[in-house]
Structure 1
């Protein structure tokens, strides 16, 4: 029970105490942009006007990225086709299973992955580290995709790589500024063109020369005899599993799903599965195609250039059309693909950085600041030629990403639904959560720490290939174990937010009832507000986040 009774709901915004006015000033800067992007908060029903299929198409539009071709090619050339295909399949199964509960929670409760993580074992401040991990995912992959675009611009227009890096970085800024509205239009209109340019050459090659399939399946790789072995599969799967954090970018779109009702439940579930965990089906297919194309062109361009998507598709187009069309079409495919994914990388990265910064400093500087920060990090990586050591970066990063995603997925699937030690409805608001929840923090720290030690051979050479397996297994085991040990005491600081109006409607969707925040004067839907005991009023989650003196934060329950 709460230590205080629920205050009377009020829409009065005339409070002028010294503690409220500065908080209003700090929140005002974020109000207009937050109403556009909902950077730090629940996405309200009034904004979520898209159909399930439009949301799904927008989310899947980002999966156009070309890095999958390069990742698959790198694994296949090193370990052989057999090991590569098994590694890709293993990683895809893990990514699908862990992504499903996260995608469901994002779509059902209209929260991004950071907000879900807070209430799924990490706590209000405990999830800051995972936000930084996700932000790093976005700029690492922005750099990778930008490098691929620069290779295309060099081949097609003769631009030097350093200039191509700058062009690929700067061109996404105008699109990212306008958030979901601009991104949904971009993804819907460019996806058919992208599919035609990607699938057409592949179908032609197989139909025109069926022997390419046999050569592809027989390719042995450079590090062995081509026989499938566990170590090679695990090394390859570890690289593929670096993409496990992609579910965070999918959820950045899925949080805008409309409410699930009897009338739309089939379309709703189809969209959630397709655009949530289902992204990995397309991703795995592209990785396998990357192996196929690399084997097809390796004799022509050599092993160093074979993993480059621009070279793969240049050769594929060259086999089916006049030479004067080859380079323009290959460049068009690469540019369209990279724009589609890098607007998502820049957008999602800005959300993650803003979430972390606002919680730590209790100051909201505006999302665009972190769009520029994220792009600056990516540009530095590109200029440092990260493409040449891609496998090492992704292999290391995957350990942290796996530990985080498996911890959150396990908390949802086991701690919430089976053990019932974690609250079923995700909580994200300041004052309702403990600062740190040892359940997720301990599981994540142990899983990522031990797997990284294995990756760097600190536990011996034999165990090194199994670091991603260790990250997943340790997180999966420790998350419910810590919940049992702590008896679930550290999930909620209090269970009553001081407002009598229910959080959910009769269909189980977040309530659309609006209440006025007495600090910033804006109206917000029920899940985004709590009571403010100090002023006997209501306060929104962003004003809570920027409250430097804690005047509006509810006291802990006894």
Structure 2
């Protein structure tokens, strides 16, 4: 038995030109190996790095697909709800506060996803949470996907009831089951769906609003002077309370990232288009989201003050657009177009909710159980949970649910963003590249885990009035502040020792090309026999038949129950027979 010392560190800054050969065949092909997971793992790369050969879309198409996922109508309902409660000025102030915080926290995450072609779970692993610790954030994320799915499904059911007289329970069922077959084919289908429907959706939303403002300009003054049901005075506390509801959508960036990970490599030739797509498809979603929320406030005020309808109808997107269209056209056509808009919007967002939720569930299950039953199984699971929430009429308590949930979403997103900005770029305690592979990371990193738990639990306690009713509205701001403060403090306290378990992955091929993009050279996975791109591979602790180095993909390593392929830590001797 010989002992081999660890190779020198292979850092993220390595930039060399790939060799002329398009792939390496150093590892033997294991033709008899089980493909339990490898072939399934190619199912839209739900557990792993998105390889270059799969990323054939232009930056504009990727950004358009990401933005297509924010077609949800919950924004209109959220805006209307906070407008009715707090008045127009307070609602707009809250919307803008939330938009600024979401944009700031989303930007570093969107950049990392597009630059390194990894999803939010993989980013979280190497940005403070650890290999198993990020399961905590996956649970937060799946909660977001089925809460939003249930909200949108309920809105569609309201539309089907208004248009066809379908009972709500049946509408919930239809709005859920119709999504499943659309999500099965992953990004290849979703990119086409979003691209085809985006222009139509924008026209149907914007033109009626422009018509109403031109036809009834006095509606703008009525809108600006509205003080809500309780005639609330303008106050910062009311704005923050309104912002708390809007901040529940902080986790939307994780859904956008599930598209942004398919961005093409950034080169000098496409740099402007690449950055435009990352900004618009990433943090830029909140600009459109804020506009939709303000429109929601406007429509609610118009319905209450001009049409003399009840506040309960004013916060329903179905009635909002039906009332809007009725000012332009005959009632039958207005109803048809309103229902059509509701259905298109619900499909656009809920295919994203179901898709992203299935990715998160897959990550949770595969790491804990060392099995991969396929992403489609978890599409059904996520849709089933959402359907149950609809049947329990969650829509009626939407404001409370979102305000409560926002504390956890903010804790997660701001923790990871703080790790990237402070711990990576300023303190240099966190590795610059988002490491995600088993064996390279510690299972749990106290930096992110402590930050998320502290931020989430303290802010929720504040939300429920532990520190007094006067402080309760500020719980989202406390969540953000605690995460931003605790994350770098924990990194300093632990000296960054819990980020990397190993400093080198045992592969001598550079990780990145001359432009800093993930290298597209391939290696053969000793477990599955598939060709896998360099960033998704790691050396195996188990040598080949002739003592040669073998390589395994991140997915094969995730499903390795025995752990025989997991490399030892830097503190352990690296030995081969």
Give the alignment's TM-score, normalised by structure 2.
0.93
Secondary structure of the corresponding residue to residue 515 of structure 1: strand
- Structure 1 residue 198 and structure 2 residue 205: aligned? yes
How far the C-alpha of 1:542 sits from its partner, in A, is 0.6
Secondary structure of the corresponding residue to residue 261 of structure 1: coil
Equivalent residue for 1:380? 388
Dislocated runs of 4+, deviation >3 Å: 1-6
How far the C-alpha of 1:335 sits from its partner, in A, is 0.5
Q: What is the distance in 2 between the residues matched to 1:190 and 1:79?
A: 34
Secondary structure of the corresponding residue to residue 314 of structure 2: coil
Q: What is the distance in 2 between the residues matched to 1:296 and 1:33?
A: 51
Equivalent residue for 1:463? 471
How far the C-alpha of 1:3 sits from its partner, in A, is 4.6
* Contact 1:3/1:556 (<8 A) preserved: no
Choose from 240, 265, 269 the match for 1:263. Answer: 269
How big is the alpha-carbon RMSD for the aligned residues of Structure 1 and Structure 2? Answer: 1.4
Choose from 269, 294, 300 the match for 2:300. Answer: 294
Equivalent residue for 2:245? 239
- 1:285-318, Cα deviation, whole Å (9 max, x unpaired): 0000000000111243301111000100000000
Q: What is the distance in 2 between the residues matched to 1:310 and 1:159?
A: 14
Query: Aligned pair in 2 of structure 1 residues 216, 490: CA closer, same or farther (>3 Å)?
Result: same
* Contact 2:538/2:553 (<8 A) preserved: yes
Choose from 393, 403, 407 the match for 2:401. Answer: 393
Equivalent residue for 2:15? none
Query: Aligned pair in 2 of structure 1 residues 104, 423: CA closer, same or farther (>3 Å)?
Result: same
How far the C-alpha of 1:4 sits from its partner, in A, is 4.5
Secondary structure of the corresponding residue to residue 43 of structure 2: helix
- Structure 1 residue 545 and structure 2 residue 558: aligned? yes
Q: What is the distance in 1 between the residues matched to 2:531 and 2:39?
A: 12
- Structure 1 residue 11 and structure 2 residue 27: aligned? yes
Equivalent residue for 1:478? 486
Q: What is the distance in 2 between the residues matched to 1:485 and 1:146?
A: 46
Q: What is the distance in 1 between the residues matched to 2:241 and 2:165?
A: 36
How far the C-alpha of 1:175 sits from its partner, in A, is 1.1
Secondary structure of the corresponding residue to residue 308 of structure 2: helix
- 1:375-409, Cα deviation, whole Å (9 max, x unpaired): 01000000000000001100110000000000000
* Contact 1:101/1:412 (<8 A) preserved: yes
* Contact 2:6/2:504 (<8 A) preserved: no
How far the C-alpha of 1:2 sits from its partner, in A, is 8.4
Secondary structure of the corresponding residue to residue 530 of structure 1: strand
Q: What is the distance in 2 between the residues matched to 1:290 and 1:15?
A: 58
Choose from 501, 516, 526 the match for 2:509. Answer: 501
Secondary structure of the corresponding residue to residue 42 of structure 2: helix
Query: Aligned pair in 2 of structure 1 residues 2, 387: CA closer, same or farther (>3 Å)?
Result: farther
Equivalent residue for 1:94? 101
- 1:32-60, Cα deviation, whole Å (9 max, x unpaired): 34223100000000000000000011111
Equivalent residue for 1:557? 570
Query: Aligned pair in 2 of structure 1 residues 254, 2: CA closer, same or farther (>3 Å)?
Result: farther
- 1:406-458, Cα deviation, whole Å (9 max, x unpaired): 00000001110111110000100000000100111111111001000011112
- 1:54-108, Cα deviation, whole Å (9 max, x unpaired): 0011111111110000000000000000000000000000000000000000000
Unaligned runs of 5+ in 1: none
Query: Aligned pair in 2 of structure 1 residues 65, 14: CA closer, same or farther (>3 Å)?
Result: closer
Q: What is the distance in 2 between the residues matched to 1:5 and 1:319?
A: 72
